[in-house]
Amino acid sequence: MAAARVGLVSVSVSHALHASSSSPSLRPPRLRLPPYLPRHHHHLLPTFPPNYPRPSSAAAARLRASATMSQAAGNPYAAELAAAKKAVTLAARLCQAVQKDILQSGVQSKADQSPVTVADYGSQILVSLVLKMEAPASSSFSMVAEEDSEELRKEGAEEILENITELVNETIVDDGTYSIYFSKEGILSAIDDGKSEGGPSGRHWVLDPIDGTKGGDQYAIALALLDEGKVVLGVLACPNLSLGSIGNLNGGSSGDQVGALFSATIGCGAEVESLQGSPAQKISVCSIDNPVEASFFESYEGAHSLRDLTGSIAEKLGVQAPPVRIDSQAKYGALARGDGAIYLRFPHKGYREKIWDHAAGSIVVTEAGGLVTDASGNDLDFSKGRFLDLDTGIIATNKQLMPSLLKAVQDAIKEQNQAASPL
């Protein structure tokens, strides 16, 4: 019955997925190193090996128990939250396998310079699978996600596709939850589950399968749920982020336990737990009210943000600490638990912000007691489709600092505009 909910599962070879037995003959072969595609040699993921164990059956039981308790406590999205946690946890395990086994292999390029990788595709497939199997059914499954299958359908991508297929199937078998096997055509079809345009009505999952790959060793699998145009839950799996705090200016983690899972549901607060499935702990943004004592996050990659502008804003606020530079929505998680006080993002002119880059992280911060707005102080609107309808930047902080931050932002932007148009 659960397999049928995927909408693609059948014993027929013509369908995207195939129900499998427990026969070892159906176990996919071990992952082979995929070839480099020509001309592109970007990083995939940080090169140190993962050091957290795979979640146990006890961890899965805790997720189910958490959903039951959340429902009893009045969380109307408890089942969806449990499914989202399971989805990103399984995707994180796949990403860690890639990080360990293939490192810099299999990387393609993207227009925005963040790599599209074997792990990107595999992560998106697994999240789609788990949501279809575990989340409460709605009228139709809708997911707004970063990747589509276009590149994989082109001549020359056959070996990359084969490796994605093997990696996904191996992850499913190792997990042991589902008796499902993906064909290559099934892989392509599953990737295209993410082609929804979203919008103001109905329910839409919003996914960034791997957000960030270069920024101080940090990346995140970011998943949110839109309900009638509003973000109602978000989860961030951050495999290289410690349960402690950010330990240095390049976003390195302090503490021994690495692998953080942030989650938030509208009206229910925000939490963090380990990717091993340890008990969740409530989190909140910092209580700093003096900008001089604040620190701020910005993107690691200079191409992602206007550093002259963020530097001017920090100067106007009187911020003394240098910026902490990491990529991915791990910044939102770190801000939500009080590692820093401010997040500034001001892309270069003409860049269009994608909803999957902010949906999950923004609700984690707001449910932790913070505020996330555009540069004019307006709430972010995720109901307009695949892109945010803004070009002024994004800021996040606590409620105490927001008035002074907004003034500094608007003053700095005004000065920048005057300098660009002296007449």
**How many Cβ atoms from other residues are within 10 Å of residue 384's Cβ?**
15
Q: Residue 158: what residue type? A: E
The H or E element spanning position 143 is: strand 143-145
Angle, in degrees to the nearest 10, between helices 184-191 and 118-134: 80
- The one catalytic residue among 165, 213, 265, 366: 213
- The one catalytic residue among 89, 117, 120, 339: 120
Secondary structure of residue 73 in the 3-state scheme: coil
Distance CA 423, CA 418 (A): 8
Q: Which two tokens stand for residue 416?
A: 């920048």
Close Cβ partners of 189 (under 8 Å, ≥ 6 residues apart): 8, 16, 149
**How many Cβ atoms from other residues are within 10 Å of residue 336's Cβ?**
30
Cβ contact 62:279 at 8 Å? yes
The b/e string for 157-190 (b: 16+ C-beta within 10 A; e otherwise) is beebbebbbbbbbbbbbebeebbbbbbebbbbbb
Q: What φ, ψ does residue 223 adopt, rounded to 5°?
A: -135, 130
Distance CA 114, CA 177 (A): 32
Active site residue 411: no
Active site residue 120: yes
211 is in an annotated binding site: yes
**How many Cβ atoms from other residues are within 10 Å of residue 386's Cβ?**
18
- Which residue blocks in 206-306 are alpha helix, DSSP H? none
246 is in an annotated binding site: no
Q: Which two tokens stand for residue 268?
A: 């229910």
- Strand ranges (E), 170-325: 180-182, 203-211, 220-227, 230-242, 258-265, 270-274, 281-283, 296-298, 324-325
Secondary structure of residue 9 in the 3-state scheme: strand
**How many Cβ atoms from other residues are within 10 Å of residue 71's Cβ?**
15
Burial, 130: exposed, middle or buried (Cβ in 10 Å; 0-12, 13-18, 19+)? buried
DSSP state of 246: B
357 is in an annotated binding site: yes
374 is in an annotated binding site: no
Secondary structure of residue 149 in the 3-state scheme: coil
Binding site, annotated residues for Mg(2+): 146, 208, 210-211, 357
Q: Which residues are annotated as a binding site?
A: 146, 208, 210-211, 357
Residues annotated as catalytic (active site), given as ranges: 120, 213
